[in-house]
Amino acid sequence: MTLTWILLLLTGTICTETKIVHVDISLAGCTDSEGEKMFGLDGEEKGHADFTKGEFVMTLPKFADQFTYAEGAYDIAVANQQICKQNLQTVIEANKSPAVAEAPPMSSIYPRDEVKVGTDNTLICLITGFYPPRLTVQWTKNNKNVTQGVSSSQLRLNVNDGSFNQFFTLEFTPQEGDIYTCTVEHRALEGPMTREFDVEVSEPSLGPSVFCGVGLTLGLLGVATGTFFLVKGNQCN
């Protein structure tokens, strides 16, 4: 199966009186077995065609101004996929199956909220800058594979270079000493890339309390000593 993609980027700018420039994005892409149709604004996705569910999905956050695309947007996306695949085959034949460009991913792992033992939390594995847009991710807890409570975001396009970002999440309840890992496999990597997260709960430090107590004691001793010499001085006079 070839992983060659045709990407069509249609961008436009909207300028306001305050000189703020916004960029609209329309992305259509395909392989011989997969497809992508996405609309975005300023690098953030607004909606995409879900070819598995057979519908157009809006992905704006709840706090954003909500809107929907015109009826028939999904049907148009399906028709565009057929055109994309025909064009893809033509390009492959004309260029004699050229090699696919590759960019290895980078990853990081971190909790959504401050870690508290016994409190439900979410572990996030952020993967950025990869191409082609296909990878696999495996979670483990204490060296055992984890499949429950796992989810992933839609692919996010980096408009500047055509690479992709995606994040994967794991719902977890941290316990002291637990070790979690997120392992990424991608064709541009020489081997699996693993990031580790250790559940460590720091104990309250005694340092500030000790220094405060010592300082207060010395201060009181200084006051007492000063008072003693002041009384003795008055008696001498």
pLDDT one-digit tens code per residue, 102-126: 999 999 999 999 999 999 999 999 9
For residue 35, what pLDDT band results from cuts at 50, 70 and 90? confident
Neighbour tally for 29: CB within 10 Å: 21
According to the model, what pLDDT value does residue 217 have?
61
What DSSP character marks residue 190?
S
The Cβ-side half-sphere exposure at 209, using a 13 Å CA radius, reads 3
- Report the C-alpha gap between 60 and 170 in whole angstroms: 22
- Residue (of 151, 159, 104, 160) closest to 127 by Cα position: 104
Domains, in order of start, for the chain: 6-94 (3.10.320.10), 106-198 (2.60.40.10)
- Report the C-alpha gap between 58 and 73 in whole angstroms: 11
Neighbour tally for 186: CB within 10 Å: 21
- Residue (of 123, 122, 101) closest to 195 by Cα position: 123
At 236, which amino acid appears? C
User: For residue 189, with 0-12 CB atoms within 10 Å meaning exposed, 13-18 middle and 19 or more buried, which class applies?
Assistant: middle
- Report the C-alpha gap between 235 and 208 in whole angstroms: 41
**Range of lowest pLDDT (93-97, 136-140, 184-188, 204-208):** 204-208
For residues 127 and 158, the model is more confident at: 127
- Report the C-alpha gap between 88 and 28 in whole angstroms: 12
According to the model, what pLDDT value does residue 6 have?
45
Mean pLDDT of 62-76: 78
CB 166 within 8 A of CB 155: yes
pTM of the model as a whole: 0.62
- Residue (of 196, 187, 152, 154) closest to 171 by Cα position: 152
